[in-house]
Amino acid sequence: MYPLVGFLVMSLLFMLEQALAVSIPNGNYRIQQGNRYLSAGKYKSDSIAFLLPGDDEWEQIWRVENESDGTVTITSPDTGRFLTLGQGIAQPHAYVMFSRFWQTWKLEPGSDSGLYAIAYPGGPVHGNTLAIDLSPNDRSTNRLHLEVVNSESSHAKWSFERMHGDGKLSSCGPERSQPLFRVQKV
């Protein structure tokens, strides 16, 4: 009898956690902090993730897909590269990159409406939640790392700017030179 009650309680807690999980719709987004964007080089090989101003020389539009466990994957719609840990080990200051290795992330709501931490989903590491942020020791390079959420130096708050359209140039004629995107804050 008691094992059944324990199982039911754990099942209810799991369902409640899934229901409360932050979810944004699947789609293409510019993921940003202020006027700087999650960025990577425009090539198919692995690329370190950066936080940079808007620039056509960098890949800055990302596909966010919800997974059944309440996490998301973040990929390049052009190259299929995933946002992942560079060293494969979740620890403070581990660098973040885009590669062919699949990785999920957990979006955790920030104190400001519409802002989220992109957190490592494996739970606390040494008692701390880790999320994607600029390293306090490496701000001049704009490289992104896993950092402790809510530390004094934490800026791990991201907004997701929804891009409607496929990002391809319109076939309406040669006068069209800009991708067809409509922007919507989520």
pLDDT digits (tens, 9 = 90+) for 113-172: 889 999 999 878 888 899 999 877 766 678 999 998 875 556 678 999 999 765 432 222
Which region holds residue 173: left if phi is over 0, alpha if psi is between -120 and 50, else beta?
left
pTM of the model: 0.74
Please tell me the distance from the alpha carbon of residue 120 to that of residue 37, in angstroms, as a whole number.
Answer: 19
- Asked if CATH classification 2.40.50.140 holds for the domain at 24-185, the reply, yes or no, is no
Please tell me the distance from the alpha carbon of residue 101 to that of residue 184, in angstroms, as a whole number.
Answer: 29
pLDDT digits (tens, 9 = 90+) for 62-118: 999 999 999 999 999 988 999 999 877 888 888 999 999 999 999 999 877 889 999
